[in-house]
């Protein structure tokens, strides 16, 4: 199989870092994004811009329609995005999101005869999300080899999670070393249509703390 990889690209700070890292490691990159009814659609515009910037081989945006299932502040208009960090698993958790993202990546990987998939999950800052933990990733990798024709024929899938044990500050430092410009990325759960961030949601706070701790100027475009 060729040394190509699929990169899950949300358009946020983590996924651009993962894409830059995969490129540096010599992978030909295919980018995969999802329109899952998230409120912060500005993310997808950022993903398209980043995919172009990094000259990926192909970029697909899959429409997931998770809005019809609901159950998360990110996809359900009846649940408010909170303006402070929560205890436990936050209401911004989207049921089975990473399972779905990885399942699509797996299907596309099999069609393209690729066995490497990169995902920017992070178990430190987002420890509230169960599907960002190493044990989840390991379970998915095990599943991938059983689920597929390629796996049944002896190929082995690898789910790469280079950021899983890094703090937000460490991710930003790594990205800056790799030459990443974080200006076009969008992390905010409530970004406006210009991709400007709200400053108050969980994602904004974690990002601001990350830049502050890394001692790197924050290029985020904030709402006035």
Locate 181 and state its tokens: 């410009």
Q: Footprint of a second copy on residues 68-107 (CB under 8 A)?
A: 68-71, 89, 93-100, 103-104, 106-107
Q: Count H helices, E strands: the chain? A: 7, 5
> Which two three-digit tokens encode residue 56?
């990926």
Helix (H, G, I), strand (E, B) or coil at 5: strand
CB 117 within 8 A of CB 160: yes
- 193 annotated as a binding-site residue: no
58 beta partners? 30
Query: Is residue 55 close enough to count as binding a second copy by CB under 8 A?
Result: no
- Applying CB under 8 A, does 59 fall inside the site for a second copy? no
Please identify, using beta-carbon distances, which residue of 89 and 183 lies nearer to a second copy.
89
Scanning 147-155, 158-166, 169-177, 204-212 for contacts with a second copy by CB under 8 A, the matching segment is: 147-155
**Closest by Cα among 111, 110, 128, 131 to 120:** 131
Among 152, 192, 194, 212, binds a second copy (CB under 8 A): 152
Q: Check the annotation: does 12 bind a ligand.
A: yes
Asked if 110 is part of the footprint of a second copy (rule: CB under 8 A), the reply reads yes
Shortest Cβ 98–a second copy spacing (Å): 7
49 C-beta neighbours (distance < 10 Å), count: 16
CB-nearer residue toward a second copy: 96 or 200: 96
């Amino acid at each position: 199989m060729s040394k190509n990889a699929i990169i899950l690209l949300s358009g946020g700070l983590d996924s651009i870092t993962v894409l830059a890292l995969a490129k540096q490691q010599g992978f030909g990159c295919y980018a995969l994004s999802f329109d899952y009814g998230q409120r912060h659609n500005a993310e997808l515009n950022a993903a398209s811009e980043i995919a172009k910037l990094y000259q990926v081989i192909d970029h697909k945006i899959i429409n997931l329609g998770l809005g019809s299932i609901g159950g998360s502040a990110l996809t359900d208009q009846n649940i408010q995005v909170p303006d402070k960090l929560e205890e436990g698993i936050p209401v911004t958790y989207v049921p089975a999101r990473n399972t779905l993202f990885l399942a699509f990546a797996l299907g596309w990987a099999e069609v393209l005869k690729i066995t490497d998939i990169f995902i920017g999950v992070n178990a430190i800052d987002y420890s509230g999300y169960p599907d960002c933990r190493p044990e989840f990733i390991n379970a998915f990798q095990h599943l991938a080899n059983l689920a597929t024709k390629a796996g049944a024929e002896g190929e082995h899938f690898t789910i790469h999670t280079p950021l899983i044990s890094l703090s937000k500050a460490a991710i930003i430092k790594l990205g800056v070393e790799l030459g990443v410009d974080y200006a076009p990325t969008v992390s905010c759960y409530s970004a406006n249509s210009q991709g400007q961030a709200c400053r108050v949601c969980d994602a904004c706070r974690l990002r601001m703390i990350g830049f502050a701790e890394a001692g790197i100027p924050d290029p985020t475009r904030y709402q006035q």
